[in-house]
Structure 1
Amino acid sequence: MLFEQIATGGCQSYLVGCAATRAAVLIDPELSRVDEYRGLIGQLGLHLRYVVDTHTHADHFSGSRDIGRALDVPVVMHRFSPAPHAAFRLDEGDLLMAGDLRLKAIHTPGHTADSMCLLLEDRVFTGDTLLIGGTGRTDLPTGDAHALYESLFEKVLTLPPETLVFPAHDYKQRSHSTIAAELADNPRLQKRTRAEFVAMMQGLDLTAPTHLTEALRTNMTGAKPVSQLLAEAAAKVPFMSLAELASRVGSNTCDMVILDLREREAFDAGHVPGAVHLPRGQLELRVNTDLPDPTVKILTCCEFGKISTLAAATLRELGYLRATALEGGLAAWRDAAYPLSDRAA
């Protein structure tokens, strides 16, 4: 077996491959590392057969959909997953076959209704069902403390004691554990009766994950997170530096439209001299009247450079092929002590 563990902060992803056939499976990829996974797959001479999410993640963004599309491989999840992009759905006991590898699905609801573990030879990939020194939480959507108790004590923890445990998260730089070690040392597993375990899980006072709503929205539907939208927009537009804009504003040959996309109050409080006000929310509705010449150079501005990046990409899609965005936005312009005007252009 070929085996690679890839850590992204506290998130853990796994690439397993068949040494004989080079067929491979990628488990719980993180969106920000998609290019690295693809590079690693190529470097090792592997052919990816499946990309798997062990459950609907609520604390980070899955890279499964993007990898699946890029490499034309199916996204695999449990059959209870709500994700529309999961083309291959597993039931209890189903096997994923990649060359000589056999990964057995074990449905382990509790952290989420669609949680599953994958048993492969001497190891089990436990997702967020069983962590090193902990378990998945049960207070998020579709979580159930009773179901988690059954998944742990009636399924996962009945595996041979020497079985290696590879979870989807670990924040202490530990690579793996074993079933025996978790039974002996995991504080949550010392509550051996259902009543004690459920009471403990329901009494945990945990803060919500930072990106809870956005992660659930994107992972459940296949939509894109804002960071990905920004990255894709940034790849489609050029940028103008603050110094370049300052040199043009300071001359009498500023041959472009400087488009300030902020709301009126922010615009009136101070804007780049000569800028035209057009709120982002009205851009598509007013673009034909306010920007009648599609060949003109347009520089979009906002407070921090994010909305202007999205707007510049939109303008290019609408046919304004010389649209560009101000790097850093008005906040950086002010910090650099460049001139501001409070007079309407």
Structure 2
Amino acid sequence: MVFEQVATGGCQSYLVGCNETCVAAVIDPEISQIDRYLGLAARDGLRIRYLIDTHTHADHFSGTRELARQLGIPVVMHRESPAPFVDMRVDDGDMLLVGHLRARVIHTPGHTRDSMCLMVEDRLFTGDTLLIGATGRTDLPTGDPEALFDSLFRNILRLDPTLRVQPAHDYQGLGSSTIARELAENPRLQKRDRAAFVEMMRSLNLTMPTHMTEALRSNMSGGKTVAQLLAEAAAKVPFMALADLKARVEAEEGDLIVLDVREREAYETGHIPRARLLPRGQLELRVNHDLPDPTRRILTYCELGCISTLAAATLRELGFQRAVALDGGMQAWREAGYPVKSGAKP
């Protein structure tokens, strides 16, 4: 079996493949690691056949949908998943054929209603159901401590104790564990009375995951993240360096339009000399009046460089093929000690 573990902070994802048939699956892919999965598969001569999420993630952005778009292969999740883009919905006991490997689905609700584990040879991919030294939390949407108790003590903890536990999270860099080790050492698994376990889970008082709202929105609906939108926009436009813009402004380069896409208050507080004001929220409504010549070179900037990247990409889509974005923003311009003009005029 080909096995690769990819860490993204504390999040863990896996590439599992069959040596003989060169077929593979990616489990719990993170969207920022897409090129890495593709690179690993290419290095080992593997063709990815399945993209599997063990549950609806609230703490990282799933890469299944984007990989599916690129590769034309199915997204696999449990039938309880709310995501509309799932191609293959599986149930307890179903098996996925990854070449000569068999990935058996074990439905393990508790962390979420759609949580499942996958058993592949001597490894159990546990998602957030069982972690190293912990378990998945049950205070997020569709979490249920009663269900988690059953999934653990009446299901996966009764499997072969030598099975290697490969969780979707590992914040200590341990890599893996075994069922036997978790039964012996995992503090949460020492609460083997149902009532005591449920009370413990309800009393954890954990902080909410970073970007939880955006992660749930993206993973449940298939919508894009802000980072995706920015990355896609950045791939469509060229950029200009701060020093280059300063030189062009000082030379009063006539062909260049400098466009401040912040709001009026920010513009009047301080802007780049010669910059016009056209707030991003009004761009599409005012572009024909304010920018009548699509052949002009237009540079957009904002406070930090994000909104201006989106604005430049929009201008390119509208036909302004010489639109560029500032590499940085007004904050970086000020920190560089470059000239700033205040007031309502350019």
- The equivalent residue for 1:111 is 111
Measure, in 2, the Cα distance between the counterparts of 1:299 and 1:138.
Answer: 48
- The equivalent residue for 1:51 is 51
- The equivalent residue for 1:78 is 78
Measure, in 2, the Cα distance between the counterparts of 1:63 and 1:253.
Answer: 44
State the Cα distance separating 1:257 from its structure 2 match.
1.2
| One-letter amino acid of the structure 2 residue matched with residue 259 of structure 1 | L
* Structure 1 gap ranges (5+): none
Measure, in 2, the Cα distance between the counterparts of 1:253 and 1:156.
Answer: 69
- The equivalent residue for 2:339 is 339
- The equivalent residue for 1:276 is 276
- The equivalent residue for 1:292 is 292
- The equivalent residue for 1:33 is 33
SS at 2:258 equivalent: strand
Measure, in 1, the Cα distance between the counterparts of 2:341 and 2:175.
Answer: 56
State the Cα distance separating 1:256 from its structure 2 match.
1.4
SS at 1:243 equivalent: helix
2:185 corresponds to 1:198: no
| One-letter amino acid of the structure 2 residue matched with residue 130 of structure 1 | L
SS at 2:87 equivalent: strand
Measure, in 1, the Cα distance between the counterparts of 2:249 and 2:17.
Answer: 58
Alignment of 1:10-159 (within 5 A): 10-159=10-159
Measure, in 2, the Cα distance between the counterparts of 1:252 and 1:154.
Answer: 75
Poorly superposed stretches of 4+, deviation over 2 Å: none
- The equivalent residue for 2:163 is 163
Q: Are the aligned partners of 1:15 and 1:27 in contact in 2 as well (CA < 8 Å)?
A: yes
SS at 2:45 equivalent: coil
- The equivalent residue for 1:2 is 2
Measure, in 2, the Cα distance between the counterparts of 1:251 and 1:123.
Answer: 65
Measure, in 2, the Cα distance between the counterparts of 1:77 and 1:205.
Answer: 29
- The equivalent residue for 1:302 is 302
- Pick closer, same or farther for the CA change 1:163–1:274 going to 2, 3 Å: same
* Structure 2 gap ranges (5+): none
State the Cα distance separating 1:226 from its structure 2 match.
0.7
SS at 2:295 equivalent: coil
State the Cα distance separating 1:168 from its structure 2 match.
0.6
- The equivalent residue for 1:240 is 240
- The equivalent residue for 1:228 is 228
Structure 1 residues 194-221: Cα deviation after superposition (integer angstroms, max 9, x where no partner): 1000000000010001110011111111
SS at 1:300 equivalent: strand
- Structural RMSD (CA): 0.9
Measure, in 2, the Cα distance between the counterparts of 1:84 and 1:176.
Answer: 32
Measure, in 1, the Cα distance between the counterparts of 2:101 and 2:303.
Answer: 52
Structure 1 residues 251-282: Cα deviation after superposition (integer angstroms, max 9, x where no partner): 13342111111111110011111111111111
| One-letter amino acid of the structure 1 residue matched with residue 293 of structure 2 | D
SS at 1:166 equivalent: strand
Structure 1 residues 160-183: Cα deviation after superposition (integer angstroms, max 9, x where no partner): 111111101101111111111111
| One-letter amino acid of the structure 1 residue matched with residue 36 of structure 2 | E
Q: Are the aligned partners of 1:248 and 1:254 in contact in 2 as well (CA < 8 Å)?
A: no
Aligned length: 345
Measure, in 2, the Cα distance between the counterparts of 1:338 and 1:103.
Answer: 59
State the Cα distance separating 1:151 from its structure 2 match.
0.7
SS at 1:303 equivalent: coil
Q: Are the aligned partners of 1:123 and 1:166 in contact in 2 as well (CA < 8 Å)?
A: yes
Measure, in 2, the Cα distance between the counterparts of 1:103 and 1:119.
Answer: 5
Percent of aligned pairs with the same amino acid? 65
Measure, in 1, the Cα distance between the counterparts of 2:275 and 2:8.
Answer: 42
Measure, in 2, the Cα distance between the counterparts of 1:276 and 1:51.
Answer: 47
SS at 2:324 equivalent: strand
Measure, in 1, the Cα distance between the counterparts of 2:255 and 2:235.
Answer: 24
Q: TM-score w.r.t. structure 1 length?
A: 0.98
- The equivalent residue for 2:217 is 217
State the Cα distance separating 1:318 from its structure 2 match.
0.7
| One-letter amino acid of the structure 2 residue matched with residue 24 of structure 1 | A
SS at 1:245 equivalent: helix
Measure, in 2, the Cα distance between the counterparts of 1:25 and 1:235.
Answer: 28
State the Cα distance separating 1:117 from its structure 2 match.
0.2
Structure 1 residues 291-318: Cα deviation after superposition (integer angstroms, max 9, x where no partner): 1111111110100000000000011001
- The equivalent residue for 1:208 is 208
SS at 2:201 equivalent: helix
| One-letter amino acid of the structure 1 residue matched with residue 172 of structure 2 | K
Measure, in 1, the Cα distance between the counterparts of 2:341 and 2:162.
Answer: 70
Measure, in 2, the Cα distance between the counterparts of 1:94 and 1:258.
Answer: 59
Q: TM-score w.r.t. structure 2 length?
A: 0.98
